[in-house]
Amino acid sequence: MKRLLFPLLILTAIGAKAQQFGGNPPSIKWKQVNTPATRVIFSQGMDSVAQHVAATIAQMNSLIKPTIGFKQKQVNIVLQNQTTISNAYVGLAPFRSEFYLTPSQNSFDVGSLPWWQQLAIHEYRHVQQYNNFNVGFSRALRFVFGEGGQALGNAMTVPDWFFEGDAVFNETLVSSQGRGRLPMFFNGYRSLWAAGKDYSWMKLRNGSYLDYMPNHYPLGYMMIAYGREKYGDTFWKQLTYDAAAFKGVFYPFQGAVKKYSGQDYTTFRNAALDHFKEQFKTDAPIKLSKKHFAADEEYPAYVNDSTLLYLRTSYKHIPQFILRTGGKEISIAVQSVTNDNYFSYHNGKAVYSSYRPDLRWGYRNYGELRVLDIATGKERLLTRKTKYFSPAFGADDKAIVAVNVPATGKSELHLIDAESGKLIKALPNEDGLFYTYPKFYGPAHLISAVRNSKGEMSLALVNIETGSNTYLLPFSFEPIAFPQVKGDTVYFSKTDGTNDELFAVDIKSRQLFSVTGVPAGLIGYYQPNVSDGKLAFSSFTANGYQLMQVGLGSVKLVPVQGNSKLSDMGINALEQDSASHFLDKAKPQQFAETGYNKARNLFNFHSIFPTLDDPNYSLELAGQNILNTFQSSVLFNYNRDEGYKQFGYQATYSGLFPYLSAGGSYTIDRRGFYKGNSIYYNETSINGGISVPFNFSEGKRFTRLSVGSSVNYSRNTFQEAFRSMFNDTHYTYLSNTISLSNQTQQARQQINPHFAQTLTLNYKTAVFGRDATQFLAVGALYFPGLSANHSLVFNGAYQHKGQNNAIGFSNNFPFSYGYNAESLDDMHRLAATYHFPIAYPDAGFGNLIYLMRLRGNVFFDYTHASAANIFANGASFTGNFRSVGGALFFDTKIFNQGAVSFGIRYSRLLDVDLFGGSGRDRVEVVLPVTIF
């Protein structure tokens, strides 16, 4: 069977990755705020945030329209406050946005602006992009295929770096911060320049399994900022209009760059990068000890003056806690799944926040504290179903302080019993601060980096008894993180112009110091830790975060006065637009709030998806409501083999604890054979079912279980010419399914997780009309191979069906490779496959296709089958179907952004293929799918 992956399906799926079908419990009552630009949908208690989001967008909208276009279509924005993930998206198919409202602790990464505000000024720019890219041939695609058609047209013509770079420019333009002013945002490219790594454009665009590559966000910002700076504020508006409209069939975006800049694409992008290279020319050249990416070494913690504990993450290995003494390193334990690698150490124990999803609701997840014993490598869970971040031990090891961010969004400092995990005290937060990385300072105080309601930062001395704050630094937009208390001095990282530097402050005098005596010219100084005699920190390189240590004797604290200013990185256009620093002038607004009906626009048909899966050719009209609780599709399918035409409808509702599904189809011109002649009939099918998806993931593993059952009714009506020969038939059967998957974490280069198990059981049995049964079990076991990135997989399957089945149930048995499959009475299969990487070419052609990895496998496949009355003479059959062979797979990117894997498999048949084909050698084109 040959299958064509229609690019529409690949590229429109990108926007759907973040969505959680049926992610919110039915107990949530939704409300809405309506403006011409947005409908903000929110749950009870989020009224203030919803009003702020709506007001910010309403006032910003007209100011930034001139630089992208004046088309406007209202977008639905759903505020999700149950999750610990800091993220958001805007997508087509359907057109909507979701904000995940828990802020990140690391202010260097995306800044310290109020998180709802950061999302509003960034994500709404994506809304404007989609509204204004519905032009020309992209518009024609939308007319034919719906929103998914526009998504295809836009993805083919406008690179992903533009979408994100333009949105980052907007957040930098309208605020006094934004990632365009944050040094960490540029660290990736700075590290490549400092190491003299001159990678090709296609490698920078597509990434690598061998070398560190920054993502498309900073690349996009540098391109957008340079274009605005050199050619004016409407440069990208004109350019992207032409590109999205497909003006110029081949490479319309590159052609538009040439048209509006007068430079060819290569010259333009090199000039953009050169502009920013000049901003960081003081970075010291870095000579790397290894050719390729080594590992991220993060959060150094002194066990003593000669021993460091830190977290190491490489492309070959999942995150591990490492003890380093001199040149000797020992792996202590693997880190549990987490959103943030931060941990704190004291007296032989490390504490950190791990990630746990809710059992059922995808938008609800937790940050649970785990304590690791360094001596034994054993870990224990301290809290359950909490939303804790950045924990740290007290000096007596009896208490832990952590940041609590509940669904209300109000940040709190919690003191937790280090043995029982019970809450000792929740400190009042009268100043409305957002706390990050708190530390104990004696028994009565805490030190924490804090953000105020404007997004400005300081260090606060927090009174444990009252919760009152004493600010050690004046508030500013310069990010602060990673405070480390040593005596009466706090060491920390803070932005200083174009770099993130080490500073210290005397708690009693509030004197700010610059930390000198450390190697100069490094790309960022992060996560400081101090022992009695040494200072350790992490700095960014092209081979990952690398630990560095200096003796305290060489460290000097030089007094400094006040704060420096964030750098515009040489982009004057940030200060010359009418929207510049808009947030400083934004005013509160109040909009009417009304209830939001969960049944609103339930069907919401948005796209037509064509599928070419020979011999089936289909069109699907897909629908999905804004709350993502109802998915439906109207389907037409043509089967080339039989010539039948099928019309169907299927829908699933996930707003309750179980999924409820129902559907039906009508098929015309089904074909069968009787005494050597074709007979034709029409088939009516109706189905209804219930299923429950469970997520048992926790700690170091991902575990999912799904249980479901459906009732299926089918009626066959013979066409007029055959009605005298056959009676119409009908039957009803149950289909019951259990699916389980369990796996460990997987490193970037690993083809499969080192340990994983999958099992699917399906039992079908007729209940009315006819007698029939079928049982199918399919499973796999995954093990590590001879090398870190190798994988050994054992597959097994068993199928049994009743000998006198009157129903031809669908056959999903995974037959041995190379053979034509047939549904027989009893079949069992055992297979072993060994996977291994071959090469990492990091090369491509014409910005059309890029080959990241070449990998292969070898296999042995064995199926034993038996059946009664299979031959014309009524004879039974028992036999084997064995094959050996191998496959070659290509992991690629198309159009510099869509990941596609395909392969070629060779099978040598060791037994006769009784059901079709000739010869013992078979070659197939393979399109693999993920296992979980």
Do 160 and 166 form a contact (C-beta atoms < 8 A)? no
Residue 913 CA to residue 53 CA, distance in Å, equals 64
The secondary structure of 523-539, three-state, reads EEEEEEEECCCEEEEEE
Domain boundaries, the chain: 3-7+31-281+570-595, 336-476
What residues have CB less than 8 Å from 70, skipping those under 6 apart? 132
Integer-rounded Cα Rg, in Å, for the chain is 30
Pairing status of strand 843-845 against strand 826-839: unpaired
Residue 704 CA to residue 105 CA, distance in Å, equals 29
Closest CA to 520 of 285, 349, 681: 285
User: Cβ of 210: how many Cβ atoms within 10 Å?
Assistant: 19
Orientation angle between helical segments 265-279 and 183-194, nearest 10 degrees: 100
- 3-class SS of residue 163: helix
User: Cβ of 899: how many Cβ atoms within 10 Å?
Assistant: 14
DSSP string covering 404-470: E--TT---EEEEEETTT--EEEE---TT--EEEEEEEETTTEEEEEEE-TTS-EEEEEEETTT--EE
CA dist 468 → 416, 445, 460 (Å): 19, 10, 9
Residue 356 CA to residue 378 CA, distance in Å, equals 19
Residue 182 CA to residue 166 CA, distance in Å, equals 16
Helix (H) or strand (E) holding 222: helix 216-231
Could you identify the residue written with the tokens 């799904």?
706
Backbone angles phi, psi at 538, to 5 degrees: -120, 140
Closest CA to 221 of 480, 599, 621, 571: 571
For residue 584, give both structure tokens: 């400083």
For residue 540, give both structure tokens: 């960014």
Q: What is the pLDDT of residue 673?
A: 60
Residue 423 CA to residue 868 CA, distance in Å, equals 67
Pairing status of strand 898-909 against strand 556-560: unpaired
Q: What is the pLDDT of residue 680?
A: 83
Q: Which residues pair with 143 in a beta bridge?
A: none
User: Cβ of 903: how many Cβ atoms within 10 Å?
Assistant: 18
Q: Which residues pair with 557 in a beta bridge?
A: 515
Do 760 and 813 form a contact (C-beta atoms < 8 A)? no
State the greatest distance between any 2 C-alpha atoms of the chain, in Å, as a whole number.
Answer: 103
Which CATH class name applies to 3-7+31-281+570-595?
A: mainly alpha
- 3-class SS of residue 62: helix
Q: What is the pLDDT of residue 10?
A: 32
Residue 592 CA to residue 914 CA, distance in Å, equals 71
- 3-class SS of residue 722: helix
Residues of the chain falling short of pLDDT 70? 1-18, 672-676, 724, 869-875, 928-932
For the domain bounded by 336-476, which CATH number is listed? 2.120.10.30
- 3-class SS of residue 263: coil
Q: What is the pLDDT of residue 218?
A: 98
Question: What is the pTM assigned to this prediction?
Answer: 0.95
Residue 762 CA to residue 382 CA, distance in Å, equals 38
CA dihedral 243, 245, 250, 251 (to 10 degrees): 10
Burial, 70: exposed, middle or buried (Cβ in 10 Å; 0-12, 13-18, 19+)? exposed
Helix (H) or strand (E) holding 631: strand 630-639
For residue 74, give both structure tokens: 């209202």
What residues have CB less than 8 Å from 153, skipping those under 6 apart? 133, 137, 138, 139, 140, 141, 142, 244, 246
Residue 738 CA to residue 762 CA, distance in Å, equals 7
